[in-house]
Each structure stands twice: as C-alpha cells, then as structure tokens.
Amino acid sequence: MKFGKKALDLRLKKFDSNHPEVGNSYDILGDINYKKGDKMEAKKCYENTLSIYTQKFGENNQKIQEVMLKLKNLLFGKKRKFYFVVKN
C-alpha cells in the first residue's frame, strides 16, 4: 500500500491530475484496497480511475470496461453475501 500511494504521489507531481498514468495508479490502489478488505476506499479509487479513463479514452474503451467490472464485482459482491448459502 505504501508503494502504491508513493507511486500515485510521484505521478501526480509529474503528470496532470487526469493523465492516464494517474488513472493507472488509482486502479492499482483500488486493487490493493479491495484485497485488504477496504471496499469503500477501493470504490473511491476505481471511481477516480473511471473518471480519468472516460475523459481520456471515451466510454467504449476496454480499460473502462475492466474498471466497470471491478466496480460491479465490488458492489454486487457485498449483496451476494446476503443471498448466497453454501451447503456441505
């Protein structure tokens, strides 16, 4: 996590705040936060990624579709816990 934030800080110093490399950093941080269980922070990171990618690539880009899938998995993963029952 420490290195992910450091990479974001460096990219923000080097690039414009809506540069695709900054979006890549947010995407990586979203993945890290999701794996750590911090879904709210992951959601924020993915939303930042989506905003940057949409501005730079348009709505039909594959990168945007990948981030949308991550967001859907994050959001619907919460709901699925309430409806999914494992039987032995």
What are 48-85's pLDDT values in tens digits? 999 999 999 988 899 999 999 999 999 887 544 434 44
What pLDDT, on the 0 to 100 scale, is given for residue 41?
94
- 43 vs 87 pLDDT, higher one: 43
The CATH number fitting domain 2-83, selected from 1.20.1250.20, 1.10.10.10, 3.40.50.2300, 1.25.40.10: 1.25.40.10
What pLDDT, on the 0 to 100 scale, is given for residue 82?
37
What pLDDT, on the 0 to 100 scale, is given for residue 1?
66
pTM recorded for the entire structure: 0.80
What pLDDT, on the 0 to 100 scale, is given for residue 70?
94
Which residue in the block uniquely carries the two structure tokens 């996590």?
Answer: 1
Is 28 within 8 Å of 20 (Cβ atoms)? Answer: no
For 45-80, give one letter per residue: b (16+ CB within 10 A) or e. Answer: bbebbbebbbebeeeeeebbeebeebbeebeeeeee
Is 15 within 8 Å of 36 (Cβ atoms)? Answer: no
